[in-house]
Structure 1
Amino acid sequence: MNWDLDFEHQRIDPRDPNPWLALYLDQSLDLHAPAKKALLRGYNSKSRRYLLPLIRPVARLSIILVKLVRMVLPKRWAWPRALHRTIYWGLRHFVRRDSNYLILRHFHIGTEILRFIADNAGVTITSTQPLRPRTLADLKEDAFLVHDLNIYNFLLELNATLSAEGRTLEAPAQLNFDAITDGEFDLDPGKQGRFNIIDLQTAIESYVPMYSLMLTDHDFWRAANSLQLDETIAIYLSRLLNDPLPVGLVNNRHPMVPVITLHSGFRLMLHGLDAELMHAYLRQMKRALASTSEQTTRHPQ
């Protein structure tokens, strides 16, 4: 088995088909090409093949132990600043550059999807903080915690405003795609040093127990449960686009039936994929609208 990571120049060998090359060439999901390549490179890494099976059970046992420790700790004890600085240090020194690229990219995607919904719902959202980290150092200012708070504050303000105005979410007469970036974000995920070998999934599984320890039990549960809001956001997009496909793209299902926190690491990977898929679909629709407008301009009826 010698599966090259250079997907563009990989030869197809019917005797030893490369599963990651098959997924890279597969066009059933319209993912941003550099993000898709970065994700598949992580899946094909030695870190995921050999470290993840060892770390995952230890990480899940650690979550249980932290839960027991939290029973004797003060309820409001937390250290979010130290948590974010520890995550930053680990990402900078031990996590693969392409994995850090995906993490930074995720914050931009989340910000743009929420902004797209607000723009097309005709609601001005004031309770969220747009997250646009360019470097890993930008994550130190409680970026992960703010990301979780943003989604809940967005849902609360959006639905409270619609309810007060006696409206429901529905497709606008003209869709506004100004919030969606059709191209690459300005990101600097750091260097690929000799010790930057940890893939994204292994890194996430490693950080979840730390997240549960250094946030309050309430904050950790809320963050874990926010992952299932992917389907909620997809429903909003489906209503605005008048298209059921966004709901079919997501894998984290509705939080009306919460999932236990032990599986947070795996569901966080699904959350990242869900966000990429929804953003890619919005980008695809933005291109289609621009193409239609261009053709109409060139060939008016």
Structure 2
Amino acid sequence: MSSRTPEFLTREHDPADPSPWLALYLDRSTPLPDAVKEAWLADSSCGSRQYLLPFLRPLARAFIILIQVVKTFLPRKWSHSKLLHRILAWGLEHFVSPEANWLILRHFHLGAQVLSFIARNAPVQVSTTPLEPMCIADLKDELFVKHDLNLFNFVIRLNGALREAGVEMHAPEKVDFSMIRDPGLRLEDMPQRKRNFLDLQSAIELFTPLYQLMLTDNDFWRAANSLQLDETVGIYAAQILGAPQHLILVNNKHPLVPLSTLRAGYRLVLHGLSTEMLHSLLMRAKRDAETADFPASQTA
């Protein structure tokens, strides 16, 4: 983990002035592992989120409106995806906090594992295209756009195969958890210069107008609407596990009701947290399955 211990873990508990971050960290109602929860709350409680985000968010949303007007005068296919990803990687490397960078890289791995879990346990064969960047520089290969494309292509391929076979998603006789694992990324390997101070939400709010500017309208709308599929992926996982209660922590609004791109930054943070929650639930289910199988293997 990082050498920086969050203030809420070093401060002595005062019943007259309790830390809300400590309460959230100690709370066990959500399945996040302590390392992830510590990084998430350290990022959420930092100074840039408290003092910069309230100013950045309205400015970023104003730019989204302005850029939408400007793009009405640009060619519909106007796009600079490769340059966009180089700028994003540079910004993450030099200005974004270690915790935020760690969570962003984790997101690609966790998303790939969740889709692989669904594909492996579905009643039909469907291929996946995992994206597993090991460092920030790997993101330059247009990974943010490819991540959105992967999700839509997976849903299309999966449901096309289900329709063709005339079957529905259901729990298999034995669930395969072999692809669910810790990504092996280390927080201490993230850039930790003094200027790496920007929290996750502020970085996303800043990058969203840039994302809109340098992609086609179609690519940007698809990226924003991909956030609507959190419940869809959660439903697939719940159907495989036969456990609909797992949906309670996977929530980013109804997939059939596209929302305005003005809130894309905030919803992207929800998307990241939903993926962490679902992966944590699958890790817990994997441990439970291994524990249940252990006595049988001992007596075999």
Letter of the 2:135 counterpart: T
In 2, the alpha carbon distance for the partners of 1:253 and 1:236 equals 16
* CA displacement at 1:242 relative to structure 2: 0.8
Q: Counterpart of 2:98?
A: 97
Q: Counterpart of 2:185?
A: 186
8 Å CA contact 1:10–1:21 kept in 2: the answer is no
In 2, the alpha carbon distance for the partners of 1:34 and 1:122 equals 35
**TM, length-normalised to structure 2:** 0.95
In 2, the alpha carbon distance for the partners of 1:10 and 1:124 equals 52
- Structure 1: any 5+ residue segments left out of the alignment? none
Q: Counterpart of 1:297?
A: 297
In 2, the alpha carbon distance for the partners of 1:194 and 1:131 equals 30
Q: Counterpart of 2:206?
A: 206
In 1, the alpha carbon distance for the partners of 2:174 and 2:264 equals 38
Q: Counterpart of 2:27?
A: 26
8 Å CA contact 2:110–2:183 kept in 1: the answer is no
8 Å CA contact 1:129–1:150 kept in 2: the answer is yes
Q: Counterpart of 1:272?
A: 272
Matching of residue 228 in structure 1 with residue 212 in structure 2? no
Closer/same/farther in 2, CA of residues 264 and 198 from structure 1, 3 Å limit? same
* CA displacement at 1:111 relative to structure 2: 0.1
8 Å CA contact 1:63–1:212 kept in 2: the answer is yes
**TM, length-normalised to structure 1:** 0.94
* CA displacement at 1:10 relative to structure 2: 4.2
In 1, the alpha carbon distance for the partners of 2:226 and 2:186 equals 25
In 1, the alpha carbon distance for the partners of 2:223 and 2:58 equals 21
* CA displacement at 1:156 relative to structure 2: 0.4
Q: Secondary structure at the match of 2:180?
A: coil
Q: Counterpart of 1:17?
A: 18
Please show how residues 163-182 of structure 1 align to structure 2 within 5 Å.
Answer: 163-181=163-181
Q: Secondary structure at the match of 1:252?
A: coil
Note the alpha carbon deviations across 1:82-141, whole angstroms, 9 max, x for none.
110000000000000111000000000000000000000044333x42101000000000
Letter of the 1:58 counterpart: L
In 1, the alpha carbon distance for the partners of 2:54 and 2:80 equals 29
Note the alpha carbon deviations across 1:225-262, whole angstroms, 9 max, x for none.
10010000111111111111222111202220111100
Q: Counterpart of 1:152?
A: 152
After TM superposition, where is structure 1 displaced by more than 4 Å over at least 4 residues in a row?
Answer: 6-10
Cα RMSD between the aligned structures?
A: 1.5
In 2, the alpha carbon distance for the partners of 1:179 and 1:251 equals 23
- Structure 2: any 5+ residue segments left out of the alignment? none
8 Å CA contact 1:7–1:24 kept in 2: the answer is no
Please show how residues 99-118 of structure 1 align to structure 2 within 5 Å.
Answer: 99-118=100-119
In 1, the alpha carbon distance for the partners of 2:219 and 2:246 equals 28
Note the alpha carbon deviations across 1:186-222, whole angstroms, 9 max, x for none.
3575320010000001000000000111110111011
In 2, the alpha carbon distance for the partners of 1:44 and 1:186 equals 22
Q: Counterpart of 1:282?
A: 282
In 1, the alpha carbon distance for the partners of 2:249 and 2:13 equals 28
Q: Counterpart of 1:38?
A: 39
Q: Secondary structure at the match of 1:78?
A: coil
Matching of residue 240 in structure 1 with residue 240 in structure 2? yes
In 1, the alpha carbon distance for the partners of 2:294 and 2:10 equals 35
Deviates more, 1:187-196 or 1:216-225: 187-196
* CA displacement at 1:179 relative to structure 2: 1.2
In 1, the alpha carbon distance for the partners of 2:136 and 2:147 equals 15
In 2, the alpha carbon distance for the partners of 1:92 and 1:17 equals 34
Letter of the 2:81 counterpart: P
Letter of the 2:224 counterpart: A
8 Å CA contact 1:109–1:279 kept in 2: the answer is yes
Q: Secondary structure at the match of 1:227?
A: helix
